[in-house]
Structure 1
């Protein structure tokens, strides 16, 4: 994933005939919502699935209760808490869909905490009297090819690979918790197999997620509309005019589930994007149309800090939430993605990943990025997260 997050999210799956059983941790991440939605479909690969939804926090009110069979709250970074909450199901879990992440001030700390979280969970699930864990899918992203771009101590040194990014590109000579998690999974084989899923900018629906770029842009658009402010693009001319790609949360969920039940996908890494490209100019036009705000051409003459604009309008967002009876959110939770998004919107290279390997292995999921924007905005409105 391009972005960073302070949330934690994991998906576990269990198989007891006639079910495969799934456990998701944090319901706040947009991809978790779509995992559950996809797994509960009658046509889900490998189904039917019994779902254990989990998060460090309590289940949000907007989350459909029909998506989970059981809900467990625990902190994966705390071994005692992990043992207490996962030991009772350690003899059932057959699949883990790991989309958990905690982001710290630097990449070395990211390596430490994220490795500990994954190791705690895997060790508990492997410690039962008759453990059944057979497959783990790991969510990462294009930092695989760019390095730790959000670590300010390393950012200016980074030399990313040339796009389009391909799965067989060598690792860059910088610390990267994505590398650490892949190595950790490999260390458990052949006890179980795994797959790695490298997303781009994720577009989906949730009330709180650094990976939900669309959510923070939706809040920004609503504040601009409410206050009569110009809906300006917070990036550079290069990204405004050049190609980028994205990952629809539905496509990500589909690829994880496909890989979880595919023999061919064992111990493989796959890029996961929508399969198309866009310019941010075209993306901005679509956003402006959906939110009914005036489209503002990028001129690059005036620098501005979109995060500061949002912070200054925290009380405006509070009033929007109150007036529209929305799910209670705070501006600081809604704009966390902007720190990551600003980096992406100021790249001087085209952020594009190849989907050739994924197709060669048999996954053909796709989405029309621009067409999906309105659908996801309507979903956020139905969930009463935005007006």
Structure 2
């Protein structure tokens, strides 16, 4: 039986990990993204550059692809500034039209068997109010406008009409090596460390508050996508995803400083969304000094410095409400993968060094 998966948003944080996971599992992969993804696997795959907001282009791309049996939908449209867009009706409408543009021509072929879709803890309203501890998939839908609900309602209806299954994943903070994306704290840490070292400053925790959270390695999400595609018993369900432990960025900081070869210092709140862009020229000098890829700071950070400020607790006077989710459901269903969060962050910082995106040795720079 043919096993061909279309991964949308393939150059993004989760999409590129999904491409790797499906390739490693022996699938044929069509990676859909305007930029060619940076993939770790050495197996060949097809790259299809398509603008998912262009319905006509999507019909041309996906209208004659009968070999495609599965979709891992990881594409997302985020407006500049990131956080304000989460409540923006136009952004919600755009995300709905994008998933429709992909699924409509594929469903018409009659060979589509399964679609995985990403949500997150915003499904529980974490960006609006305190959530239950832990948040569980069986809870009633949190009643607020959200791109997730528009996409989910569409997928449920289309699946019922066309006879394919669906699985919805709700990961927490995602960790990976991707640059130029909306919410990846790892490259923000690497760039911040390099800038601190270049200015002769200690690498200080830039937030006001230390508090516990959960994260998930992008590799785990990709592997969960393969598991769902290969196990029909997982279909038509929601699953939370985490590494399986709690952590705090503040507690990781000394270990990250040691790994990066920079001097740790006392906490010093810094608004990274303002501080880092103001050092764009300095970053260009760092790139030349260390022979890094010729990427500007903006090309590396994307919108991730905004989410980093929130994750580090910048501007907070008291810790935010707990935002923990249960992963009992997916473990009981048979997917039991876990990761050490500290090791994940270091692993991906190491990958950024190998890719010559951040300096490989900041000590003595």
Question: Given the two structures, how large is their TM-score scaled by the length of structure 1?
Answer: 0.84
Q: Deviations over 1:70-125 (max 9, x none)?
A: 21100111101111222231x12110001110013443122200000001110011
Long gaps (5+) in structure 2: 80-84, 314-318, 360-365
Aligned counterparts of 1:167 and 1:110: Cα–Cα separation in 2: 25
Moved >4 Å (runs of 4+): 62-65
Q: Does 1:56 align with 2:28?
A: no
- Matched residue SS, 1:96: strand
Structure 1 segment 267-282 matched on structure 2, within 5 A? 267-282=236-251
1:36/1:189 Cα in 2 relative to 1: closer, same or farther (>3 Å)?
closer
1:199/1:65 Cα in 2 relative to 1: closer, same or farther (>3 Å)?
closer
Equivalent position of 1:212 in the other structure? 184
Aligned counterparts of 2:297 and 2:231: Cα–Cα separation in 1: 41
Long gaps (5+) in structure 1: 1-16, 150-157
1:303/1:250 Cα in 2 relative to 1: closer, same or farther (>3 Å)?
closer
- Matched residue SS, 2:77: coil
Q: Deviations over 1:220-262 (max 9, x none)?
A: 111111222232323232xx1x321101011111111111111
Equivalent position of 1:138 in the other structure? 117
Aligned counterparts of 1:65 and 1:295: Cα–Cα separation in 2: 35
1:235/1:67 Cα in 2 relative to 1: closer, same or farther (>3 Å)?
farther
Q: Does 1:101 align with 2:76?
A: yes
Aligned counterparts of 2:154 and 2:100: Cα–Cα separation in 1: 8
Aligned counterparts of 2:261 and 2:122: Cα–Cα separation in 1: 34
Aligned counterparts of 2:294 and 2:115: Cα–Cα separation in 1: 34
Structure 1 segment 31-180 matched on structure 2, within 5 A? 31-41=14-24, 44=25, 48-57=26-35, 59=36, 63=39, 66-89=42-65, 91-104=66-79, 105=85, 106-128=87-109, 131-146=110-125, 149=127, 158-180=128-150
Equivalent position of 1:8 in the other structure? none
Aligned counterparts of 2:213 and 2:320: Cα–Cα separation in 1: 11
1:68/1:55 Cα in 2 relative to 1: closer, same or farther (>3 Å)?
farther
Match of 2:292 among 314, 326, 346: 326
Aligned counterparts of 1:170 and 1:362: Cα–Cα separation in 2: 24
1:171/1:235 Cα in 2 relative to 1: closer, same or farther (>3 Å)?
farther
Match of 2:159 among 183, 189, 198: 189
1:86/1:65 Cα in 2 relative to 1: closer, same or farther (>3 Å)?
farther
1:67: how far off? 4.4
Equivalent position of 1:227 in the other structure? 199
Q: Does the aligned pair in 2 maintain the 1:212–1:337 contact within 8 Å?
A: yes
- Matched residue SS, 2:253: helix
- Matched residue SS, 2:257: helix
- How many residue pairs get aligned? The number is 345
- Matched residue SS, 2:64: helix
Equivalent position of 1:5 in the other structure? none
Question: Given the two structures, how large is their TM-score scaled by the length of structure 2?
Answer: 0.88
Q: Deviations over 1:293-333 (max 9, x none)?
A: 222333xxx65322221111101112222333323322123
- Matched residue SS, 1:269: strand
1:27: how far off? 3.8
RMSD of aligned alpha carbons: 1.9
Equivalent position of 2:316 in the other structure? none
Equivalent position of 2:8 in the other structure? 25
Q: Does 1:258 align with 2:237?
A: no
- Matched residue SS, 2:150: helix
Aligned counterparts of 1:382 and 1:268: Cα–Cα separation in 2: 38
Q: Deviations over 1:321-371 (max 9, x none)?
A: 233332332212323212122223335122322111111111101100012
1:49: how far off? 0.8
